[in-house]
Structure formats: structure tokens, C-alpha cells
């Protein structure tokens, strides 16, 4: 759990309801510490990162290689879940949690649009992530904006 900054407010929380989320994989990135981690991923110039999909979900990757860009959803497992007012170092002001993309939120779901570099069995190489090494993966979807199918061979 991260320390609190001046003016931040937390609320007492009850144990969360069980949403029955499954971790479907694990994300491998170069960042071990939040201070090193970028606040937002860079799909053009960020480092290559690996997404490992666990069995039995590997067959669900079929055709994913036809997309240039995919949306990755992950569980920010080292975030606080009780902050309602936050004082992020980079904004210079105090804001409500829902006016921020801070990892600290009641349900710490992170999303990034990443460039899909390659798919090799259960391993995807992508560029544009901003999460710590070992972050649990909760979903993968084609980029809803681009939704560009790469031409299939023979077309
Ligand atoms: N791109 C995502 C989004 O917009 O939903 C996450 C943005 S959040 C500002 C990214 C920051 O979350 C990183 O800079 C790091 O400080 C923090 N972070 C990354 N992985 C985390 C994890 N597994 N648990 C808690 N905090 C994490």
C-alpha cells in the first residue's frame, strides 16, 4: 500500500464483494518499482513488454495477431483501494479519484492501448504498457477505435 500525501482522504471500506474476476495471465515489464514506472505507456517508443496468457485461455488468442493494436486490462494489485481524494505529484492539485487515472481506486483496473508486435504461443510482445512487473492480466480486446484487421494472406 502506498503512503498518503498531504490533503489526501481515505474512507473506511468494507471487504469488496466477490466479482469473481479471474487472472488470465501475467504481465512482464522492466519496472520493479512504481517510481520507475511510466505514468502512461508509449506504444511508439516504450520498451517491448511480454504478456503471458495462462492455460486454459491460450486458444482464446486465435486471430489476435490480425490486430495492430489491442487493449490490455490489468489489475493494479499494489494500489490502495480506499482513497477518495488524491494529491498526485504530477497534477499540482488535489482531485477526486474519478477525476484521475491514478492506480489508486476502489477497483484498481488499469487499461492501456498497446501496439501488438508479435504473438508466439501464449506470449504476446507489446509496446505501450505502464505497469509493474508481475501485474495480473484480466482481459485483452481488439482496439475499439482502430479495429483494423490486418489483411489476411491471399487477400
Ligand atoms: N494506463 C493505466 C490506466 O490509465 O488505466 C494505468 C495508469 S496508472 C497512472 C500507471 C501507474 O500505476 C504507474 O506509473 C505506476 O505508478 C502504477 N502501477 C503500475 N503497476 C501497478 C501495480 N501492479 N499496482 C499498483 N500500481 C501500479
pLDDT in tens, 75-98: 999 999 999 999 998 878 999 999
Q: Which atom of ligand 1 is nearest to the CA of 34?
A: 16
Residues with CB under 6 A from ligand 1: 34, 37-40, 76-79, 101-103, 110-112, 130-132, 135
The answer to ipTM > 0.95 is: yes
| Residue 33 pLDDT greater than 90, yes or no | yes
Residues 5-31 pLDDT 10s:
999 999 999 999 999 999 999 999 999
Q: Which atom of ligand 1 is nearest to the CA of 132?
A: 20
pLDDT value, residue 155: 52
Cell 484487421, residue?
A: 149
Residues sharing a CB contact under 8 Å with residue 79, sequence separation 6 or more, in sequence order = 2, 102, 103, 104, 105, 108
Domains parsed from the chain with CATH numbers: 20-142 (2.40.30.70)
Residues 98-117 pLDDT 10s:
999 999 999 999 999 999 99
Kindly give the residue spans of alpha helices, DSSP state H, lying in 24-109: none
Q: Which atom of ligand 1 is nearest to the CA of 100?
A: 9
Cell 492506480, residue?
A: 103
Residue nearest to atom 14 of ligand 1 (CA): 39
- Reported as a pLDDT band with limits 50, 70 and 90, residue 131 is very high
Q: What is the mean pLDDT of the chain?
A: 93
CA of 41 to the centre of ligand 1 (A): 10
Residue nearest to atom 23 of ligand 1 (CA): 76
C-alpha–C-alpha distance, residues 18 and 40, integer Å: 29
| Residue 65 pLDDT greater than 80, yes or no | yes
> What percent of the chain clears pLDDT 90, i.e. is strictly above it?
85
Residue nearest to atom 16 of ligand 1 (CA): 34
Cell 491460450, residue?
A: 58
pLDDT value, residue 149: 59
Amino acid at each position: 500500500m502506498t503512503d498518503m500525501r498531504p490533503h489526501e482522504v481515505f474512507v473506511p471500506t468494507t471487504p469488496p464483494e466477490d466479482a469473481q474476476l479471474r487472472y488470465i495471465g501475467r504481465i512482464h515489464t522492466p519496472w520493479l518499482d512504481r517510481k520507475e514506472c511510466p505514468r502512461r505507456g508509449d506504444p511508439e517508443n516504450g520498451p517491448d513488454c511480454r504478456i503471458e496468457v495462462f492455460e486454459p485461455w491460450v486458444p482464446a488468442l486465435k486471430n489476435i495477431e490480425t490486430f495492430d493494436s489491442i487493449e490490455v486490462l490489468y489489475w493494479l494489485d499494489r494500489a490502495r483501494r480506499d482513497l477518495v481524494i488524491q494529491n498526485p505529484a504530477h497534477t499540482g492539485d488535489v482531485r477526486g479519484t474519478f477525476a484521475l487515472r491514478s492506480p489508486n481506486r476502489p477497483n484498481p483496473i488499469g487499461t492501456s492501448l498497446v501496439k501488438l508486435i508479435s504473438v508466439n504461443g501464449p506470449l504476446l510482445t507489446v509496446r505501450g504498457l505502464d505497469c509493474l512487473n508481475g501485474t495480473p492480466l484480466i482481459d485483452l480486446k481488439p482496439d475499439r477505435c482502430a479495429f483494423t484487421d490486418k489483411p489476411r494472406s491471399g487477400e
